[in-house]
Amino acid sequence: MTDHDSGGSAAEFCRKGLEDGRDGRHDDALVSFDHALSINPDSASAWAGKGFALGKLGRYEEEIECCDKALALDPACTEAWNYKGFALGKLKRFEEKAACCDSAIALDPENAVAWNNKGVALGMLGRYTEEIECCERAISLRARYLSAWVNKGYALGKLRHYEEEIACYDRALKIFPFYFSAHLNKGIARINQRRYEDALLPLEKALSLQPDNPRALYRKGSALSMLSRHEDAVACLRDSLEGDPTNADAWVVLSNSCFSLGRFRESGRAFDQAYYIDIKDVRGGIARGFAQLREKRFDEAQRTFAEVLEILRR
């Protein structure tokens, strides 16, 4: 992070905040940046650092406020643009996230983080070809950028280029063999290819890294269900739903496997759970889509309504 501080003590607290953040001690980092700001309230670095810490604690609106204060003091603070973009993405405001990334790139065209984050924002808006271009730019700047390799793979998968997608995950795993997301996404790609047996190995590797991860358990359960290994599927899906009971897709697959095993009452209960979640998701999606239209966030509204239609088609 560029140091814009004028007071030495404030700079020291900023450095401590950065160290705390790198070690995952985000509450301590927040305290350090608050100390820096008590000494020098005009420190753009401290405001940006505080915003980053708040974001890591899930306090995204406050992160945006801090980044705005940093940018009011120093419009050339690329970190503040990146952190603000991160928070906007967490709030599903992807057009605004992409705009923040563009601001960071205008200041620093070789900022790999900004290119990668822009790609993610564009991908969430359904602009997968552009996401790939952004990720490739990030990778050209930082060849071992794990997140960019995985994000490029994700976009290729959305375009149904599954072998190229898997090649991206394999590249990431060559760099770091214990990268959970690469194993998980590789398993999902195999499922999308209907190669369910081949999906199990990467999914089991993902679960060896995060044994209780609901997404990995759901995907493994789905693959097992498609292989007619319904007893195993039910066990996996129950574990998944214990971690995330809001996953309607997991309830649907559980219902199907229970039905195949002749457990009709359990199948019906699982289907009812999926239906109840779907109704809430449809209502929430419609309300969110109309709110996005009112705010003239048209690409995001289109994506939201597309998600509602996918639920209704299930």
- Sorted by sequence, the CB contacts under 8 Å of residue 176 that are 6+ apart come out as 146
Indicate if the pLDDT at residue 95 is higher than 50: yes
Indicate if the pLDDT at residue 311 is higher than 70: no
Indicate if the pLDDT at residue 302 is higher than 80: no
Roughly how many angstroms between the first and final C-alpha of the chain, as a whole number? 46
**What is the per-residue pLDDT for 143?**
96
Q: Which CATH number fits domain 1-91: 2.60.120.10, 1.25.40.10, 1.10.3720.10, 3.40.50.720?
A: 1.25.40.10
Task: Provide the whole-model pTM.
Answer: 0.83
At position 220, the amino acid (one-letter code) is K
Q: How far apart are CA 180 and CA 172, in angstroms?
A: 10
Q: Would you kindly state where each structural domain of the chain is located, as residue ranges?
A: 1-91
**What is the per-residue pLDDT for 1?**
43
**What is the per-residue pLDDT for 3?**
43
Q: What tens digit of pLDDT does each residue of 11-23 get?
A: 899 999 999 889 9
Higher pLDDT, 27 or 285: 27
